[in-house]
Homo-oligomer: A and B are copies of this chain.
Amino acid sequence: MIRALIFGATGYTGIELMRILWSHPQVAVTGGSSRNWEGKRVSEVFPFVDAKRDFVLRSMEDLKLNPDADVAFMALPHGQAAGVIRPVLEAGLKIIDLSADCRLRDPKAYEEWYGAHCDPDLMQRAVYGLPELHREEIRQADLVANPGCYPTSVILGLAPLVNLAQVDTSKPVVDSKSGISGAGRGGKLNTSFCEAGEGFKPYSVIGHRHISEMEQELTVLSDEPVRVRFTPHLIPISRGIVSTMYLPLKASITAEELRQAYINYYRLEPFIRVLPSGVFPDTARVRGSNQCHLAVELDERTGVVVAMAAIDNLVKGASGAAVQNMNIMVGVEETAGLEGLPLFP
């Protein structure tokens, strides 16, 4: 059995890692940290956890100093993960970092979007963990930066268009919508049921940090500078992201040719579904699964290509992708533990 640690085990991505790994045939979660529940058993925090696989939550500091396992997941806020990664790497573990701390290649970009970084060399060492783009590098890596939830939906949704001569992908307009778990686990007024339920609104309209990842990856893909116009919105659901993306046509192409480009691009990908024409991505159809649903349409009246993507932000947008990365890194079947159907309804 592969032994896995979860730093930050009681946040939403931490508990989702446990849910997924629980059903994984080759992994056992052997330890985890929690700031708020240090010293308690997992089952005291989540009564649904079984006694058989229960364990006592430790402090981050303690776990960092005694990381006796094969792999570690960093389900920590940005800034915090950077301080933990090096000692755990040096203890010989492979690391999947779910924070933003290793996603950017350019330390200056990190500083601009996030502020100071306590261990900037990590950024060079890490691989951006989107298997659909970087599978082979992930296989070699000991440190993988798990992508952000919004960037996952946007990069997967745009990648097949990037090398089409007919579509201008240099300045996409991206209108994204996310369920509330994306804001993390905690008691804040703006994510309380009465303030966020029955509402819908944009937020961080200018300068959301995830833009940096999208632009880094799309620029590499397309070999020209990409600038993303990005607006996130909050949906009153727990899980799910839909990104709707708009790109101008440069030359004539048909809707069906666009769809075929998606099908071809993702032909071998186990978690991507290109939907039939006229069917559109719906968070309710990916909830709880590692799938990404894609659709593309051509608006001939305005000369605009509309690409759409849906994922569960906690699965393909975080913990599911992290397990997919781990599977690749340790050499087990890439889909192990991740084949479950969505929970519908």
Is A253 an interface position by the 8 A CB rule?
Answer: no
Structural contact, B201 and A343, CB atoms closer than 8 A:
no
A105 to B235, CA, bound (A): 36
Q: Give the residues in chain B near A195, CB-CB below 8 Å.
A: 284, 345
With a cutoff of 8 Å between Cβ atoms, the chain B residues found around residue A284 in the complex are 195-201
Most buried by B among A200, A239, A299: A200
B48 engages A341 (CB within 8 Å) = yes
A238 to B344, CA, bound (A): 9
B288 touches A288 (CB 8 A): yes
Q: Which B residues touch A205, using CB under 8 A?
A: 280, 295, 297, 306, 308
| A260 neighbours in B (Cβ, 8 Å) | none
Copies in the complex: 4
**Contact bitstring A59-93, B, C-beta under 8 A = 1, else 0:** 00000000000000000000000000000000000
Residues of A within 8 A of B (CB-CB), count: 88
Q: When chains A and B are docked, how far (Å) is the Cα of A236 from the Cα of B69?
A: 40
Check A48–B197 contact: CB distance below 8 A. no
Q: Shortest distance in angstroms between A169's beta carbon and chain B's nearest beta carbon?
A: 13
Query: A246 and B244: CB pair below 8 A?
Result: no
Closest to A21 in B: B341
Could you write out 21 A-B pairs with CB less than 8 Å apart?
A: A19-B340, A47-B273, A175-B175, A180-B192, A187-B192, A192-B192, A196-B284, A197-B236, A198-B237, A198-B238, A198-B345, A199-B285, A200-B283, A201-B283, A207-B301, A229-B246, A231-B306, A233-B242, A236-B237, A238-B345, A287-B343
The 9 A-B residue pairs whose C-beta atoms are closest, nearest first, are: A199-B284, A201-B282, A194-B345, A175-B175, A187-B189, A229-B302, A19-B341, A187-B188, A238-B345
